[in-house]
Amino acid sequence: MWEFETDPEFQEKLDWMETFVSEEVELLDALFPNQAFVRPMDPVVAEIIAPMKQKVKDMKLWACHLGPELGGEGYGQVKLALMNQILGRTAWAPMIFGTQAPDTGNAEIIAHYGTEEQKKLYLEPLLSGEIVSCYSMTEPQGGADPRVFTTSAVRDGDEWVINGWKFFSSHARWASFLLVMTVTNPDVPIYRGASMFIVPADTPGVNIERNQALYGHEQMGDGSHALIHYDNVRVPLENMLGSEGEAFAIAQTRLGGGRIHHAMRTVGQATKALDMMVERALSRETAGSILADKQSVQNYIADSYAQITQFRLFVMYVAWRIDTLQDYKAVRHDIAAIKVLTPQVLHDVSQKSLQVHGALGTTDELPLAGMMYGSTIMGLADGPSEVHRLTVAKKLLKDGKPSEGMWPSSWIPGLQEKARKKWAKELEGHEAAQ
Ligand SMILES: Cc1cc2nc3c(=O)[nH]c(=O)nc-3n(C[C@H](O)[C@H](O)[C@H](O)COP(=O)(O)OP(=O)(O)OC[C@H]3O[C@@H](n4cnc5c(N)ncnc54)[C@H](O)[C@@H]3O)c2cc1C
């Protein structure tokens, strides 16, 4: 059975979200642009957002990516997709709804792999929003290919000693703890030789060397993406997350969910860019008519609508597959395909919308230039598009098979011969009649 309907009870929640996000949360974007992640602990901001968070909790919409055992609602990915399409319109919404990265993914893996003690120490305060966390995997010499990672952890009695450099560890400067991927067995391929550790941020030897800033967001050196030197960092044995050698399985659990959540929010962002394009086309007059009367502008609108709708349906379909199969591995190539589309859709729609807004579109007084830059980031964060394309292609090529003989199986002369054999009797009469 195929259905495209939302149950009416949940639709009421979505309607509430639409109003709340457009009337309250979007104002935060205007008041504190680019700061949703830059100063999460600022007391003034905290005072403004506390009652907003409470409203979300009262509506039973807090941390909806989590199951009920962790304080979420366990709505599943399809409902989460519908919600994220609303949240994606604003940078602040994930913070207000308890779904901000990297804390969401970090919470998921501690919930999945953590001991009772680890959950108590790190997961509980993370879920209640008391603290923020960091995921420290990429290294300065490379992120797309983990085989170049060298940060190591070596066992010394009752402790592990971590040494090495990590790059683009987002939010490290505010984090209470970091999840650090390390090589614990260099003699086997890294996919079996890496282990994950929970490192409290105040452990001696955790040295943030630079806080790199995204272009146009913060001042150089005062950003939220850290270059970290782990210099003889000692953690007790019980700080390993999961088992020795299990870091990549853990990373996959984290990234599978994270990637599709980015895509869900991107549907929201791209839709916002389209809404803005339509409004501008109906409002701006030039060369004797409004922009909406120009055929090229109509083309922009129609193409954007088609592109977003295609993308949205793909995202919803994969969300439904995750809910149905409960297995990220089975949909890995679909999530990778979505990850490839995410920057493309956002780029194409925001670029057209910016074009229709003229010079104003290029300024920091509209979100469109930020969306275009954001689309570039989306093509890198959680792995570059090229690598996701490989995942898709590998799966299809593995499932495919070569043709028998020299000609492709769709070679028409070959098919004609097959057909003639199959209907030889019938064709005898037909050919005689001709
Ligand atoms: C905003 C932002 C936040 C981030 N947050 C975090 C975080 O919190 N924690 C963390 O650990 N990391 C984080 N990252 C890092 C991110 O995961 C890496 O940037 C990503 O994995 C790519 O690694 P790299 O930047 O070293 O690029 P490289 O690995 O050097 O790749 C550069 C380019 O080479 C090409 N390329 C690479 N591999 C292939 C291939 N197999 N085939 C074809 N072409 C290829 C692609 O064009 C790619 O973009 C973040 C990145 C961004 C932009």
Q: Are 162 and 240 in contact (CB under 8 A)?
A: no
Atom of ligand 1 nearest to the CA of 140: 26
**Who wins on pLDDT, 222 or 410?**
410
**What's the token pair of residue 434?**
């001709």
Going from the Cα of 15 to the center of ligand 1, the distance in angstroms, rounded, reads 37
Q: Which fold has domain 249-399?
A: Butyryl-CoA Dehydrogenase, subunit A; domain 3 (1.20.140)
Q: Does 381 contact ligand 1 (Cβ within 6 A)? A: yes
Q: Does 377 contact ligand 1 (Cβ within 6 A)? A: yes
**What's the token pair of residue 103?**
């804390």
**What's the token pair of residue 128?**
């209640």
Q: How far apart are CA 213 and CA 66, in angstroms?
A: 30
Q: Does 114 contact ligand 1 (Cβ within 6 A)? A: no
The mean pLDDT value for 203-230 works out to 93
The mean pLDDT value for 257-279 works out to 94
Residue type, 13: K
Q: Are 89 and 26 in contact (CB under 8 A)?
A: yes
CA dist 121 → 132, 134, 202, 404 (Å) = 13, 15, 15, 60
Q: 120-160: per-residue pLDDT in tens?
A: 999 999 988 788 999 999 999 988 999 999 999 999 999 99
User: Which one-letter DSSP state was computed for residue 403?
Assistant: P
**What's the token pair of residue 114?**
């953590």
Q: Whose CA is nearest to atom 40 of ligand 1?
A: 387
Q: How far apart are CA 339 and CA 96, in angstroms?
A: 25
| 133-241: CATH class | mainly beta
Q: Are 307 and 345 in contact (CB under 8 A)?
A: yes
Half-sphere exposure of 172 (CA within 13 A, CB side): 33
φ, ψ of residue 26 in degrees (nearest 5): -65, -25
**What's the token pair of residue 345?**
């859709």
The mean pLDDT value for 321-344 works out to 93
Going from the Cα of 314 to the center of ligand 1, the distance in angstroms, rounded, reads 24
User: Where does the pLDDT of residue 264 fall: very low under 50, low under 70, confident under 90, or very high at 90 and above?
Assistant: very high
Atom of ligand 1 nearest to the CA of 171: 8
Nearest to 273 by CA among 124, 31, 88: 88
Q: Whose CA is nearest to atom 31 of ligand 1?
A: 144
433: pLDDT strictly greater than 70? no
107: pLDDT strictly greater than 60? yes
Its pTM stands at 0.92
Percent of the chain with pLDDT over 90: 79
Going from the Cα of 312 to the center of ligand 1, the distance in angstroms, rounded, reads 25
Strand bridging mode 194-200 / 206-212: unpaired
* Residue 41 pLDDT: 57
Spell out the domain ranges in the chain: 8-114, 133-241, 249-399
Which long-range CB contacts under 8 A does 40-49 form with residues at least 24 apart? Answer: 40/95, 40/100, 40/132, 40/171, 40/174, 41/132, 41/174, 49/92, 49/95, 49/96
Strand bridging mode 152-156 / 206-212: unpaired
Q: How far apart are CA 125 and CA 119, in angstroms?
A: 9
Q: Note the Cα 276 to chain centre separation in Å.
A: 23
Bridge partners (DSSP) of residue 181 are 196
* Residue 70 pLDDT: 75
Q: Whose CA is nearest to atom 8 of ligand 1?
A: 170
Which of 11-25, 96-110, 374-388, 405-419 is least confident? 96-110
Nearest to 135 by CA among 258, 283, 318, 273: 258
The mean pLDDT value for 6-13 works out to 95
Q: Which fold has domain 8-114?
A: Butyryl-Coa Dehydrogenase, subunit A; domain 1 (1.10.540)
Atom of ligand 1 nearest to the CA of 166: 11
Going from the Cα of 220 to the center of ligand 1, the distance in angstroms, rounded, reads 20
Strand bridging mode 175-183 / 132-136: parallel
